[in-house]
Amino acid sequence: MSLAIVTPSYAPDFLRFRRLHESVVRNAPDGVLHHVLVPPPDVALFSSIRSDRLRVLRQPDVLPASFVTTTRLGRIPGLPRGYRVAAVNVRRPWPPIRGWVLQQLVKLAFVSTLDADVALMIDSDVLIVREFAEDLFRREGSVRHYRVPEAVHSGMPRHLGWRQVAARLLDLGEPSHDYADYNAGVVSWSPAVVRSLLGRIESVAGMPWTTVVGSQLDVSEYFLYGEFVAALGTAAEKAFCSDQNLCYSRWDTLRPEDAKAFVDAMPAQDIALLVQSNSETGEDVLDSIADYLRGG
């Protein structure tokens, strides 16, 4: 298939990921594979999902050998207790790599190896709720590029930081002038564009892209991809651009009595919904949403 679905995950998100995968099987085109990349200790847990549409991969296997996960290191001496570190790059040990950055490294590294035309990036706290065809994400050879101009403003300091980091790593001078946002619950990437993006980072820095991105304290893979396409993409790579977010999202706690109304309010054009994993929404509420979507 020319479409692949990619999800980094880990044990605390297992129940959410299992719901996501069930929704992928129900709604993604036949034959599309769902790739989940997890820390080594979590492989057995995720492999307990018996599905011929699922591929469980170890996160370290897609990264250079210089990246050592903390499951092998144990607690790192000298760091404050509570400082959460996911890995260390022995080529550049400081700063240690937090989980947020490691997941982005894993996404970029894995997608760069795919021979598919389209990679759908979907996190564990998303559910696919409507059937979709591949042409939703690919049109006349161009992969759908999600981009919302004028969406980033002064009240979004992290987004502003991501713009600046992307511009610096890609040597763009200044980021795009229309303050676009690229974050969404379902994001489509071209693996060929990802390979060009990573090559650009390496040519600018003169070192492996994994070392460059892994050394950032805060970075967004979606802003790296988005600013690369905006500034350096070919006409074909920019041809299929959309500001339509295909994922209906909830960021605060969803109460049981509000779950049905939340689902019913989902826009007709959306194919997915997201209840943010740190919203403290109970698993019983998420189960009820999944049951309702299945018609149960």
How confident is the model at residue 1, as a pLDDT? 58
CA dist 242 and 262 (Å) reads: 24
Averaged pLDDT, groups of 10, the chain, 296 residues long:
92 94 95 96 96 96 86 49 67 78 95 96 93 94 95 95 96 90 96 98 97 92 97 96 91 79 88 82 81 72
Model pLDDT for residues 50-83, shown as the tens digit of each residue? 999 999 999 999 998 888 877 544 445 554 444 4
Q: Residue 281: its pLDDT value, please? A: 76
CA-to-CA distance for 176 and 174, rounded, in angstroms? 7
CB 70 within 8 A of CB 87: yes
Picking from 26, 40, 34, the residue whose alpha carbon sits closest to that of residue 4 is: 34
Q: Give the Cα separation of 179 and 163 in Å (integer).
A: 8
Q: Tokens 């559910």 — which residue?
A: 127
pLDDT tens by residue, 114-149: 999 999 999 999 999 999 999 999 999 899 999 999
Work out whether the CA dihedral 274, 278, 280, 284 comes out positive or negative: positive
Sequence-distant (6+) residues with CB within 8 A of 86 are 69, 70, 97, 98, 99, 101, 102
Q: How far is CA 72 from CA 11, 18, 59, 95, 198, in A?
A: 17, 26, 13, 18, 27
148 DSSP assignment:
B
Delimit the domains of the chain by residue range.
3-294
Give the CATH number of domain 3-294: 3.90.550.10
Name the DSSP letter for residue 85: -
Task: Say how far apart CA 17 and CA 51 lie, in whole Å.
Answer: 13
Tell me phi and psi for residue 273, to 5 degrees: -135, 155
Q: How far is the C-alpha of 227 from the C-alpha of 164, rounded, in Å?
A: 10
